[in-house]
Structure 1
Amino acid sequence: MIVVFGSINIDLVCRTDHHPRPGETVPGSDYQLIPGGKGANQALAARRAGANVAMVGAVGADDMAAAALAELTADGVDLGAVVTRGATTGMAIITVDRHGENTIVLSPGANARLKGEDLGAVRLGPGDTVLLQMEVPFAESLAAAKAARAAGARIMLSIAPFLPIERAALAAADIILVNETEAADLARHLGLAPGPDGAATVATLARDLGRTVIATLGGDGAVAATGTETIAVPALPVDPVDTTGAGDTFAGVLAAFMDEGAPLAEAMRLAASAGSLACTRLGAQPSFPRRAEIDEAANQDGALA
C-alpha cells in the first residue's frame, strides 16, 4: 500500500504566450479549475499506475474542496484520512506559456493545518510506502516520517518546492526525490559542490547522506545514485504542452512500481515514461497516464526487455 501525506489543492490555470515581467499585464486564455497539489498529484499518479493508495491531507470548508478531491474520488483513492480544517482549500495559481513551461503561486489554505498525527488514521506496516512533499509544514511531515519508520514503512521525500532541510532531518527518508535545480540547491545548502550535471550532483548527495537520491532531468529523463551504483533512464521523445505535475507523476509511478517489487531501474524507466506522457496534456491531474498507457509507451520505447 502507498500512503501519501501531503497537500491537496485546486489549480487555477491560465495559458499565455509568455510569462509576464514585473509590472506587465499579458493576455491569457479562459482559466480552468483543475485538481492539484503535490500530495494529491502523487496519490493519483500512483493509483492510476495500479497501486492501492490512501491520501492523508486537509481541505477547507469551501466550495473548492469537492473539486480538489474530484479526480481522487473518481479513481478510487482512499480518502478516509482527509480532514476539513479552516476556511479555504489550498490553491495554486498557474501560468503556462507557449513552450509548456509554468510559473506557480501557491496559497496553502488548509494544507498549512495538516498534522503529523493525522497519519495515525491509516494503518501502516512493513512493506508500505509513505510519500512526503514540501507543501505542508515540514515539521508535520517529519513527525509523520518518524511514525512511518517506526511502523516499518519505506519513506520517499520529494524536496519540492525546495526548502533548506537540515541534514539530520533528511535521515528520516529512504529515498530523496529532486529535480536538477533542487539537487544543486540541496547540495549547496549542505555545503557540497554541485557537480557539472545532475548525475554528478546526485552521486555527491547520495554519498554524503547515505541515502538513495533521484533527480528528474526534464527531457533528459532521470538519474539515481544509491551509493553503490548510478542508474540513468531516458525520457520519451514528446512535444511538451504543459509540464505541470510531471515530477509528481514520476514520484507516484515510481512508488507504485516499487510497491509491486520492481527493481529501482525498471521502476524509474516506467516512471520517466509516465512523466513524459503527462507533459503532452494540459493540467496536472487530468494529464496523468493510466497503467495501460505507461506499459504501452515503455514497451514501444524499448524500455522493457
Structure 2
Amino acid sequence: MRIVTTTHPYLTLVATLGERGCAVTGEGVMTLVEGVDVTSLGKKVVNTTGCGDAFLGVFASYLLLDFPILEAAKRANLAGALKATRYETRGSPSKAELEKEFETLEKVTQRRPVPRVSTGVWPVRRR
C-alpha cells in the first residue's frame, strides 16, 4: 500500500486486515481503523466465510449514503465481525441490526482507553 500511495497519492485504498480491522490510505496518509472484538458484544466467532464480502458491501453502501470514509470503514469492520458470529455462509447483517450493534459498540468502547483510529503520515513524492 505504501508504494502505491507514495507514487499515486491521489488514490484512496482500503485493505482489510481481518480481526485487526482495516487500513485506509489517501493523500499520503494511512489510517488504521481498529477491528471489532465481538466478545465485547456478547458474541463469539463461529465462521469467517463471507466476512470480506460483508465488509465490502457495507463499506460501499455507506459511502453511497454519503458517510465519511472512516465512518463507513468502522461500520464495515462491524459488519464483517458480525458476519463471523453466524454459522450460515450467506447473509450479512441488516442496516437496522448494524446500527443497533454500532450504538452498543460505541458505548462499550467509550470505556476503553485505547484509540480506535490511528493515523500515520508518509512522505509523498510529488512529480
- What is the match of residue 95 of structure 2? 291
- What is the match of residue 19 of structure 2? 219
Note if 1:237 corresponds to 2:37. yes
- What is the match of residue 259 of structure 1? 64
Note if 1:275 corresponds to 2:112. no
2:21–2:32 contact (8 Å) kept in structure 1: yes
Note the 1:169-188 alignment, pairs <5 A: none
Structure 2: how far apart are the matches of 1:216 and 1:301?
19
Q: Which one has the bigger strand percentage? A: 1
Structure 1: how far apart are the matches of 2:15 and 2:82?
18
The residue type equivalent to 2:73 in the other structure is M
Please list every run of 5 or more consecutive structure 2 residues that lacks an aligned counterpart in the other structure: 39-43, 111-127
Note the 1:164-203 alignment, pairs <5 A: 202-203=1-2
- What is the match of residue 106 of structure 2? 302
- For residues 219-250 of structure 1, the C-alpha deviation after alignment (integer angstroms, 9 at most, x for no partner) is 11111111332222122212321111111111
Instruction: Give aligned pairs, total.
Output: 103
Q: Which one has the bigger helix percentage? A: 2
Structure 2: how far apart are the matches of 1:207 and 1:252?
27
Note the 1:83-232 alignment, pairs <5 A: 202-210=1-9, 211-232=11-32
Return the offset for 1:206.
2.1
Return the offset for 1:204.
3.0
1:235–1:273 contact (8 Å) kept in structure 2: yes
- For residues 31-75 of structure 1, the C-alpha deviation after alignment (integer angstroms, 9 at most, x for no partner) is xxxxxxxxxxxxxxxxxxxxxxxxxxxxxxxxxxxxxxxxxxxxx
The residue type equivalent to 2:63 in the other structure is M
Structure 1: how far apart are the matches of 2:8 and 2:46?
36
Identity of aligned residues (%): 29
- What is the match of residue 160 of structure 1? none
The residue type equivalent to 2:94 in the other structure is R
Return the offset for 1:212.
1.2
In structure 2, the residue corresponding to 1:272 is in which secondary structure? helix
- For residues 113-132 of structure 1, the C-alpha deviation after alignment (integer angstroms, 9 at most, x for no partner) is xxxxxxxxxxxxxxxxxxxx
In structure 2, the residue corresponding to 1:302 is in which secondary structure? helix
In structure 1, the residue corresponding to 2:106 is in which secondary structure? coil
- For residues 233-289 of structure 1, the C-alpha deviation after alignment (integer angstroms, 9 at most, x for no partner) is 122212321111111111110110000111101000011001100001123323x10
- The higher radius of gyration belongs to 1
Structure 2: how far apart are the matches of 1:297 and 1:204?
36
